[in-house]
Chain A
């Protein structure tokens, strides 16, 4: 019951601050959607090797970086001005940490995109390429789950992310098997590309799980969830 007996929630109390927090939440979602689009582009580049699409992805990444800077600044500004406590403070802290993860995810997708030129070569080894494609799809699905969890502030979905990412681990193990099985003259450069792309995709999944952890911090206040990081 809002306010509880004996206290009325004053709708005008700190309304400016509340509005700013809502604005910030929206903007973080916008940035998250941009990152989703980047992952989508990454998936298509990996499937087709489209160099033009790759170039567009590079340009779009600059936008994401700029958004990160501005949202980070805005968060610090709110902390400085409004002396937030309790849920307000947890929100701002988790926003700052989630922004980091989103930026990392965007960077990793860019790394994959930069291998656009290798795609034809990667396609030559079908089973390995299929594994990579599954990993890319898995990464996108995981990210979408995290995005939905954040928008809905759904603790259960956040919790489930960790379980789902185990499937990704399975894919990565398979990929390594494929890579180790490679031989022949073009094996070394192919292996290198495959490892780099595979590693990037696996780390995207890891960072997505961490977004879930930050959301769990926001909802439960347990600082242990701030400690999770990709090693």
Chain B
């Protein structure tokens, strides 16, 4: 007989609420371990004390209201916050056991293994071919460039539409095609992880659907972390969900992002553990 209580038992999805001991091996199948991550912009703490374990080769979604730091946290995974001058990161993000923020780690190498697709499609103002070829070129990847470009475009489900006009400017593509081109560009350097920051928010529903299908196809080869405002999308595509919210600091009148719950998606959208999560997914709080 199942446990009788109003807070139901949690399923198998791993949920880390304490920092792992140093030297503690992550459970197999877990690619990232985030330990006590905090992000500061100057003296303002935007995000605090995030502890997560991201499993490999599935889709993890970060959801939560605006301003809760989801994009900030996502950008920590590939050291993109380095580009913001006032940003400072505390805590560790272990990738295959290596702390990404170790001073010996080269951020450029990190970004070759952990790629990113941005909210607004941002192809280079060059040809479609050059867009996809740029990453492998700067990474010094050997091999037949034409073949690499074709492979990436196929993986991004764009090849059939552009194979006859590879030299045409990327700016002539539609929004959905441009975003798929950006995905192809990210895949071209053969990363292990693809970070997606609200990739469909600027696209119409049909283009959105195609990208969601694409995500389903490639998740067997890549680990995907997606930030999304669209709850139905999170429920549809992701295997795990992390729900963030803001915490108001009364004295300084600032808001800091915190992780509330990290669970399997099915659980989070049927019987979430935390009341704040419940209020957010049912739309009673935004």
Chain B nearest CB: distance from A47 CB in Å?
38
Chain B positions within 8 Å of A155 at CB level: 4, 6
CB < 8 Å A-B pair total: 84
Q: Kindly identify which residue among B271, B272, B285 contacts A8, using a CB–CB cutoff of 8 Å.
A: B285
A3-B276, A6-B246 known; A88-B8 Cβ under 8 A: no
B103 at the interface (CB under 8 A from A): no
Q: Kindly identify which residue among B247, B260, B269 contacts A86, using a CB–CB cutoff of 8 Å.
A: B269
B6:A219 contact, CB within 8 angstroms: yes
B65 at the interface (CB under 8 A from A): yes
Render B245-286 as a binary contact track against A, CB cut-off 8 A, 1 for contact. Answer: 111100000010010100000000111101110111111111
A2:B271 contact, CB within 8 angstroms: no
Chain B positions within 8 Å of A220 at CB level: 2, 4-6, 8, 271
Chain B positions within 8 Å of A85 at CB level: 231, 235, 269-270, 281-282
A66 at the interface (CB under 8 A from B): no
B248:A5 contact, CB within 8 angstroms: yes
B43 at the interface (CB under 8 A from A): no
Q: Kindly identify which residue among A14, A216, A219 contacts B284, using a CB–CB cutoff of 8 Å.
A: A14
Interface size on A, residues (CB 8 A): 31
Chain A positions within 8 Å of B247 at CB level: 5-6
Among A6, A8, A88, A222, the most chain B Cβ lie within 10 Å of the Cβ of A6
Chain B positions within 8 Å of A3 at CB level: 276, 279, 285
Chain A positions within 8 Å of B28 at CB level: none
A13:B284 contact, CB within 8 angstroms: yes
A10:B286 contact, CB within 8 angstroms: yes
A86:B2 contact, CB within 8 angstroms: no
Chain B nearest CB: distance from A132 CB in Å?
33
B272:A86 contact, CB within 8 angstroms: yes
A85-B231, A86-B271, A224-B2 known; A9-B279 Cβ under 8 A: yes
Render A137-175 as a binary contact track against B, CB cut-off 8 A, 1 for contact. Answer: 000000000000000000100010000000000000000
A6:B255 contact, CB within 8 angstroms: yes
Q: Which 6 A-B pairs have the closest CB atoms?
A: A221-B271, A4-B276, A6-B247, A6-B246, A85-B269, A222-B2
29 contacts between A and B (CB under 8 A): A2-B275, A3-B276, A4-B245, A4-B260, A4-B275, A5-B247, A5-B248, A6-B247, A7-B276, A7-B279, A8-B285, A10-B285, A13-B284, A14-B284, A83-B232, A84-B282, A85-B231, A85-B270, A85-B282, A86-B269, A86-B272, A86-B278, A86-B281, A86-B282, A90-B271, A155-B4, A155-B6, A221-B270, A221-B271
Chain B positions near chain A (C-beta within 8 angstroms): 2, 4-6, 8, 65, 231-232, 235, 245-248, 255, 258, 260, 269-272, 274-276, 278-286
